[in-house]
Structure 1
Amino acid sequence: MASSKRDQLIDTAIALFYRDGFHATGIDRILAESGVAKMTLYKHFKSKDELIEAALRQRLEPSRQMMAWALENLAPRAAILAVFDGLHQLLHGKEFFGCAFVNAAAEFHDREHPIHRVAALHKANAQLHFRSALERLGVAEPERLARQLQYLMEGAIAMAHVQGPAEQAREARDAAAVLLGAAGVATSDATNV
């Protein structure tokens, strides 16, 4: 029962933080919408910052799992491009308010703050995914190319946030395919699909 109350707090908190902002969302609102007592909140979290950190860690887990699955089950090129396919789904989801991690980093700009570090971890996970796939492909400068692919991904997210979701993820995917081709990754090679 206790862990379900904790999960209820986290689920409510991340939805509110994502939609309305981290600083703008108060504890009383989270409690009211979650139906959890203040005493229960402070039993699980010492502060609002600790709740934010837990909520962000929970939010990063599905994308981390998806990227791990892609690396294990897809050819490296497909594992890279799958990120953009997943991004398209995210951008066209019911409620899209930009990147929760960029939003968090903007509100907690001190790079040493634990919340900023969770945001940075999410971005590092994406770069690691790209780099791991690129290393498997044997491309030159996999770290540099991984950053370039991440710039495409982040740009698509930012533009979808500012302009509204359209074809940003698909166009970023097309650009990623061009970058991969320029790096010598064949599209017709069955091992590189």
Structure 2
Amino acid sequence: MDLEESSQDGRRRGGAATRERILDAAAELFYAAGIRSTSADRIIESVGITKVTFYRHFRTKDELVVAYLERRAAWERGAVAQAREGHDAVEALRAIASGIGEASCRPGFRGCPFINAAAEYPDTEHPVRLVVDSHRRWTHDAFLDLAAKAGVADAPAVAGQLMMLRDGAMVSGYLGDPEAVAEALAGAYLAVIQAGHRPDEGGRRG
């Protein structure tokens, strides 16, 4: 590698690092103070960069919001995959409940960032809402797969119930007692799965 190539590679790495710093600051501020309430200028000041640098990475604030939610979605999907690894459906749901309970107990927890974003962006055609809706469809499909593997009679109905319980637990963790979320959610998940089993079957777990 010659000096010019080395310099270009260094700039690319530096650019990627700056982009992550912007995303880190945006994620903290968007979640704590709200997306609409957090200006691009506030993020720029927090990161300690110029406006030119900011807009080199994100042409608009909406583009930054989309990137923030996409990164969060990737993290949540990884967490679900980890909860499912080596577990049957019921064990995976317990692990997911435990993860939500753990998140609820962290300082600064303000509920589900996707529900929060949807409340701030009512236009269903807005790029931010498209990311929110895409991730919620993915989450619903993950519950649908778990419900089917648990052997329930009506997997789509049970998946909807699991999704509602997940959303309710997020709100409860923010407005209620976060310490009780994991146990209550795990119990509710199990009750829904048991109620959904066919009367003539003990229910299978996969």
TM-score (norm 1): 0.90
2:143 matches 1:133: no
1:65 to 72, 75, 78: 78
Contact 2:151 2:205 in 1 (8 A): no
Deviations 1:143-193 (A, max 9, x none): 1101101111111111222235231332121111111112239xxx9x839
Equivalent residue, structure 1, for 2:30: 17
After superposition, the CA RMSD in angstroms is 1.9
**Judging changes above 3 Å, is the alpha-carbon distance between structure 1 residues 126 and 135 closer, same or farther for their aligned structure 2 residues?**
same
The residue aligned with 2:58 is 45
Cα distance per residue 1:43-90 (max 9 Å; x no partner)? 111100000110111112111012123334211211122211100011
- Residue 93 of structure 2 is aligned with which of 77, 80, 105? 80
The correspondence for 2:132, drawn from 103, 119, 136, is 119
2:102 paired residue among 81, 86, 89 = 89
Identity of aligned residues (%): 32
Q: TM-score, normalised by structure 2?
A: 0.85
Name the counterpart of 1:108: 121
Q: Distance in 2 between matches of 1:136 and 1:168?
A: 24
Which amino acid is the alignment partner of residue 66 of structure 2? E
Answer with 60-69 or 162-171: which moved more: 162-171
Give the distance between the partners of 1:161 and 1:110, measured in 2 at CA. 25
Deviation at 1:14, TM superposition (A): 1.0
Paired with 1:20 and 1:164, the residues of 2 have a C-alpha distance of: 21
1:80–1:164 Cα change, 3 Å: closer
Q: Tell me if 1:56 matches 2:98.
A: no
Asked if the contact 1:139/1:183 (under 8 Å) is kept, the reply is yes
Which contiguous aligned blocks of 4+ residues in structure 1 show a shift greater than 6 angstroms?
A: none
Work out which of the two has the higher radius of gyration on C-alpha atoms and give 1 or 2: 2
Deviates more, 1:34-43 or 1:13-22: 34-43
Contact 1:71/1:129 (CA < 8 Å) preserved in 2?
no
* Residue aligning to 2:181: 168
Q: Is the 8 A contact 1:12 1:30 kept in 2?
A: yes
Opposite residue 168 of structure 1, the aligned amino acid is V
In the TM superposition, residue 92 of structure 1 has moved relative to its aligned partner by 0.5
Distance 2:59 2:114 in 1: 22
Aligned residues: 189
CA distance in 2, matches of 1:40, 1:139: 53
Q: How far did residue 134 of structure 1 move?
A: 1.7
Unaligned runs of 5+ in 1: none
Cα distance in 1 between the residues matched to 2:92 and 2:142: 8
